[in-house]
Amino acid sequence: SSAAQVVHSAGRRFIVSPVPESRLKDQ
């Protein structure tokens, strides 16, 4: 799934989303 995932840690919100392939190195 390409939907963003939200993770909360100590009041901070981390939003996780896929990295565009063009931004990946050595892969």
Partner 1 sequence: AEDTGVRVELAEEDDGKKSSIALRLWVEDQKKLKGKYKDSGAIEFTFDLETEVPETVAQEMVESGFFLEIDVKIVGKSIRDRVSLIKWRRQRIVSGHN
Footprint of partner 1 (CB under 8 A)? 5, 7, 9-10, 12-19, 23-26
In the complex, least distance from residue 27 CB atom to partner 1, rounded to whole angstroms = 9
Closest approach of partner 1 to the CB of residue 6, in Å: 10
Residue 7 contacts by C-beta under 8 Å, 6 or more apart in sequence? 13, 14, 15, 16
Residue with tokens 């919100």: 13
Smallest separation, CB 10 to partner 1 (Å):
6
Q: Specify whether the CB–CB gap between 2 and 18 falls below 8 A.
A: yes
